[in-house]
Structures are given as C-alpha cells and as structure tokens.
Chain A
Amino acid sequence: MIGKDVWNQFLFTSDEGNPMLPEFFEFHNPTRVVYGVGLASDFKAELDALGVRRYFIVSDKTINELGLVKRVVDGLRTGGFEIMGEFLEVPQDAEIKSVNACAEQAKASGAEGLIAIGGGSVIDAAKATNILVSEGGDLIQDYSGAQTLARPLKPLVAIPTTAGTGSEATIVAMIADEENRCKMAFTDRFLLPSLAVLDPEMTLSMPPKLTASTAMDALTHAVEAYVDLQRSPVSDALAVGAIELIFQNIIQATEQADDLEARGALLVASNMAGIAFSHSMVGCVHGMAHAVGGLHRVPHGVANAILLAYGMEYNFEQAKDKFVKLALFMGEKVSGLSVDNAARKAMEAVRKLTGTLNTMGALPLRLREVGIPEDALPAIAEAAVVDGTSFYNPREVVAEEILVHLRKAY
C-alpha cells in the first residue's frame, strides 16, 4: 500500500533488480545550454566565448521558408560574425547523400564552425557533417558505431525549432543509408554540440499536430530513460523533470500556439529528456516506433505517442515501482493505492493525455489510423526485437509478447 510518505518511500529506496546506484554510470554534458525568448536572434555573447567568427548554416527548406534561418543569420551578421555559406536542403530524414553534399560545401566555404537550425534531422545532419568537415574520410566506413572519434570536432551550435528530439543535447546522430535501406547510428561524446540555443520563438510556427507529436516524442524519451537498464540517478532526475514539464504544458502549447511560456517549457523538457536518454538510452517503445517508422513511414513522434502506454504495459512487472513515481510527476494521486494500482495510474495518465490530444484533433490513437495494415504487425514485432533499443529495455523484448501489445495498439 502506498502511504502518505510516498515521495520518500520511492525517492530514496531501491527495489530488487533496479538498484538506486548502477554498477557504472557516466554523466558527460559539455554542451552549454542557454534559454531565452528571442535568444536565437542574439547569442553573440555565447558565440564570442567559442572563439570562432566564421560559420556555415545547416537547415532545411521549410525552416528557411518560415524565415527562421534569416532571423538567426541577421542576428549573427549584426554581431559581426561571417556566414561563409548555407546548406538548406536537409531532407525529412537526414541521409548520407545530403550529409556528403553539405560537408563538401561547408569545407569549401572555409567556415570554422557550424550552426544547425531545425528539428532532429537537421541537427543530426549537422553533427554528421561536422565529422566530415573536421576529420575527413568516409562517413559510414570510418565513423558509424560507438566512440569512433578520438578528438573534439569543430564548434557546432544547435538551435532546435521543434520540442521533441532533444538532439541538441545527445551524443547520437541517426543518418539514413539510402543504399542499404537502413539507419546508421553514430554515438560519440564528441558529437555533442558546443552550444544549444533554446528560444521558444523558434518553435512558434509548429502546427498543433507537430507540437503534440514532438512533445510526445520527448515524453517517451523521458519515460524510457527512467526505466531503462542504463539509467542512473542523474538521468532519473532529468527524466522526471521533463515529464512534469510536459504534462503541465503539452495541452496548452497544442491549443494555444503562441503561448511562449508553454512552448518554452516543452523546449526545456525536450532538452532535459534528450540529456536523460543520451545517457540511459531508450527501450521497447522506441523499438516498436522505429519499426513502424522504418516499414510504414509513420512519423516518429506519432508512433511513440500511439505506442508509449502499450510499451509501459509490456514493462509493467519489471518497472512498476518506477511507474509509481512517474505517476506522481504526471500529476496523479497514488496515496492509499496498492503498488500495482498506483503504477497503473502512470499508464492511465499517458492514455488520458493522448486521449485529450486526440479529441483536439492533434494525435491519432491507433496504429490502424496511420495506415498500417493488420497483417503487418508480426513483421513490426520482429523488427522491434532486433532494434538496438531492445538491449536497454528492462524486460527482454520477445516478438510474440510485443505482438500482443501491438495488437492492442491496433
């Protein structure tokens, strides 16, 4: 039974199999993070500290058309920085071809640093570009994998225009390999940007559907970071902080697009969740979402939003003590409930949230609503099992069991 002292009970005790202190953990976050409304137009002070004057801009067509690139570039020029060139063609999923093209132009431009303005794809492309600009070589052959870099790269500044991926705070870049039809992961602490500029004004142009799905992506990062096998007390703290901010602001930011306070809260939450999962990684929800995205082109945030509660259900026995704590950060009351019932409150909270967003027309609730045929579910389950995220999930990821939950999500 959960008592009134629930906070102490779950904050300071450990449960069998999930000790409070893991055998090993590392926390490494050299990225300078600055937050402020309007900051993307003037962050001269932070750039001065980097000691680099000549920059190359990486972004995409939509961000450019929305005037967000101009806003940043005008501020940079006013501050006395030189823009040596721009690559504004990063596709929806960053791929090798565009990274190579971007790197070629950036190198030829003579820039000393990169500035990425965009969502996760743009920031990931800029990270990969930075490898080639700084070190040369072949992106896949020489650098795909873990910790393949031996020294710091050129300064990279990331300005996110969505509040979901948290890529401005992670050691990971995902780049699509068009030839082999797969996504390659680059994991290295030297990929972390030197500076992340969080300006909620840069996210104002997101339509309600994108606001909701990207925030649900950040929520999934935080929830999975909190229960994963590689979690630590540091990632835990960041994850629960992100969860609280998301629950308090996602509806408002989706409903009221120009609410800078709510936008800002989601941007900060996305950053915190990014730092959390960059250390503890993600689990079976992402495994299923990667499969759904890879096989059926469902946007990542939408897939995570649909699957989060089902993934939590999958991990229930292994993670229920943690879910009790999460329920509190999700705004649920658990006093007087059994551990099982208190833990279920966390899943109910996620379902209530996605239900509300669905009523607002901002999110689908079922896999069948995003164009997935029912007979595709077994293949999705198989793909989820071999996804790299399976390794970190608190429960072994087994295709037949995952399929049960995919059918429920259908």
Chain B
Amino acid sequence: MGVFESSEKFEEVLVGFFRNLGDTPSIANKLLASKLIIRFTYSDPDLVVLVDCSGDKIDVRPGDKDTKAEVEMSMSADIAHKFWFGKVNLMAALTRRQMVAKGPIPKILNLLPAIKPSYAMYPKYLEEQGYSKYNIH
C-alpha cells in the first residue's frame, strides 16, 4: 500500500498542488516559457495528469489521455510524492527506472532549476490544505 489510499485522494492532493504552482508567477513563467505539454502517468494508485504549458496560463487537466504530449513521464505515486519534497534525485530515478521519461530529456532537465522552489512549497501546501498526514518529516 502506497502513501495515498485512493486515486481520488491522490488526484485531489497533486492536482491541487500543480494548480498552486501554476498560480505562482516565479515558477509558472519559467514553465510557460518552455511551452511544454507534459503527461504524468502514475501508478499505485493510478492517475493521469496533463500539464499544458503551451498557452498563456498553466492548464492542469486530470484524466487527459488524448492530448498529444511532448513529454510523457511515468512513475509510482510514492516516487512522485517524494519528488515534490526534493527527496528524489531525478537522474538516479531515471537510471533505476523508478521514472520513465519519453521525449526530449534535456527540456525536462532544464526545468529542474525552475521548479526547485516548489520543494519547499509542497510540505507547506500539505500542511495548509489539511493534508498534513502525508507530510514527510
């Protein structure tokens, strides 16, 4: 059993966080500059989330399996959760196949500095939104 008890709960937590990032100009502007459309496919529990940075605003669309994405990332929900705490070394995770990335890897790597501040935002977000039981201390 992973950290999240159901797909619904995981979606609620993660999509809320992604939307939170989309409303944070210092991060959102850099993501929008990339113009990337990324699809995240999670397992245990299962969830698909599309993050569309190609427009004027970051559009987070849970369940979107149809839009053509430039980058497809697959991982378990637990790895994703740890990642947003800054506790996953992306290159190590790719090497160990904890994450699979399809598409132009350099573009993903170049987004890492932009999302670095989000690692501090995630535990704060969990606390503030009543998800403190998911916090890693």
Contact = CB atoms under 8 A, between A and B. Distances in A.
Interface of A: 23-24, 26, 141-148, 182, 184-185, 187, 230, 386-388, 390-391
Given A145-B101, A391-B110, 11 more contacts: A23-B92, A24-B92, A26-B92, A143-B102, A144-B102, A144-B103, A145-B103, A147-B95, A185-B104, A387-B106, A388-B110
B91 to A, nearest CB: 6
Contacts of A388: 105-106, 109-110
Contacts of A386: 106, 110
Contacts of B133: none
A386 B33 CA distance: 12
A391 B112 contact: yes
A230 B95 CA distance: 11
Contacts of B94: 146-147, 187
Nearest to A230: B91
A146 B110 contact: no
B30 interface: no
A140 B96 CA distance: 22
A141 B70 CA distance: 9
A187 B97 CA distance: 11
Interface of B: 71-72, 89, 91-92, 94-97, 99-106, 109-110, 112
Contacts of B100: 145-148
A387 B95 CA distance: 19
22 contacts: A23-B89, A141-B102, A142-B102, A143-B102, A144-B104, A145-B71, A145-B72, A145-B100, A145-B102, A146-B105, A147-B100, A147-B101, A182-B104, A230-B91, A386-B110, A387-B106, A388-B105, A390-B109, A390-B110, A391-B106, A391-B110, A391-B112
Contacts of B112: 391
Contacts of A146: 94, 100-101, 105
Contacts of B105: 145-146, 185, 187, 388
Nearest to A148: B102
A26 B102 contact: no
Nearest to B110: A386
Nearest to A143: B102
A187 B90 CA distance: 14
A26 B96 contact: yes
Given A145-B103, A147-B100, A391 B95 contact: no
B92 to A, nearest CB: 4
A24 B88 CA distance: 11
A406 B72 CA distance: 35
A387 to B, nearest CB: 6
B25 to A, nearest CB: 22
A148 B100 CA distance: 6
Given A230-B91, A391-B112, A185 B97 contact: no
The 9 closest A-B pairs by CB, nearest first: A388-B106, A145-B102, A391-B109, A24-B92, A146-B94, A145-B101, A146-B101, A147-B97, A145-B103
A26 B106 CA distance: 21
Contacts of B72: 145
B89 A24 contact: yes
Contacts of B92: 23-24, 26
A390 B89 CA distance: 16
Nearest to B102: A145
B104 A184 contact: yes
Nearest to A147: B97
A334 B100 CA distance: 45
Contacts of B101: 145-148
A145 B107 CA distance: 11
B102 A185 contact: no
A259 B104 CA distance: 42
A141 B110 CA distance: 21
A117 B126 CA distance: 56
Contacts of A145: 71-72, 100-105
Contacts of B102: 141-145, 148
A145 B69 CA distance: 13
Contacts of A141: 102
Contacts of A144: 102-104
Contacts of A143: 102
Contacts of A187: 94, 105
A132 to B, nearest CB: 15
Nearest to A387: B106
Contacts of B89: 23-24
A17 to B, nearest CB: 16
A388 B106 CA distance: 4
A146 B96 CA distance: 10
B63 to A, nearest CB: 21
